[in-house]
Amino acid sequence: MKTIIIGLISVSDRAFTGVYEDKNTLILKKWLNNAIITPFNLECRLVPDEKHLIKQTICQLVDKCNCNLIFTMGGTGPAKRDVTPDATLAIADRELPGFGEQMRQISLQFVPTAVLSRQVGVIRNKSLIINLPGQTKSIRETLEGVKDEKGNVKIHGIFSSIPYCLELLNNPSIETNPNIIVSFHP
């Protein structure tokens, strides 16, 4: 069985310059280690909010490191420096609008400002690239979705669709921990 390769790109001017620690990568690593049963390798990068550097990093992870799945974190808002979606769309072969729509739907359950998010999901070659929010709490929420007080799923998280999407793109299969996220296969 081929090991899946997941790229993590944290986009932050302040974390890149050392003003504060990049907690997003740590949170996402921990979540992935708990949610994915299948063996996987990680390629992690920290870049400033610079469109050309984000594009270059995504292309490197897809074209050179052969990442099957890439998550960016941060830079998805309306501010002038928030250019992650622009960089992602610039290197994409195709867009998967449902990922952005679902992430906004989930986040709207927690904050009204979710409508300001410009997150996207795209395909480059056979890699799936998804822009996650830049807040650590929001990363988990968008991946897992919204559950009621009994733990029943009210709104599916985006990760429930990722294993099937990767299979459709001829990538290795991912088995998930059902206590964290149940992956959907028709």
In a domain, 184, yes or no: no
Nearest to 133 by CA among 122, 143, 146, 124: 143
Q: Say yes or no to pLDDT of 8 above 80.
A: yes
In a domain, 74, yes or no: yes
CB 58 within 8 A of CB 70: yes
H-type alpha helices, the chain = 13-16, 23-35, 51-59, 84-91, 97-107, 136-144, 162-168
Q: Say yes or no to pLDDT of 1 above 80.
A: no
Mean pLDDT, range 67-95, rounded to an integer: 97
- According to DSSP, the residues that pair with 145 across neighbouring strands are 156
Cα–Cα distance measured from residue 181 to residue 94, given in angstroms and rounded to the nearest whole number: 26
In a domain, 186, yes or no: no
Q: Say yes or no to pLDDT of 170 above 90.
A: yes
What are the pLDDT digits (tens) for 139-151? 999 999 998 998 8
Structural domains in the chain (count): 1
In a domain, 177, yes or no: no
Mean pLDDT, range 145-161, rounded to an integer: 92
* pLDDT band (50, 70, 90) for residue 185: confident
pLDDT value for 186: 84
CB 124 within 8 A of CB 66: no
In a domain, 173, yes or no: no
Q: Which two tokens stand for residue 28?
A: 């996402």
CB 118 within 8 A of CB 85: yes
In a domain, 68, yes or no: yes
Strand ordering across the sheet containing 69-73:
40-47, 4-11, 69-73, 127-132, 121-124, 94-95
CATH number of residue 153's parent domain: 3.40.980.10
Mean pLDDT, range 60-88, rounded to an integer: 97
In percent, how much of the chain has pLDDT > 70?
Answer: 99
What domain range includes position 21?
A: 4-168
In a domain, 123, yes or no: yes
Mean pLDDT, range 138-163, rounded to an integer: 93
pLDDT value for 151: 83
* pLDDT band (50, 70, 90) for residue 105: very high
* pLDDT band (50, 70, 90) for residue 153: confident
In a domain, 156, yes or no: yes
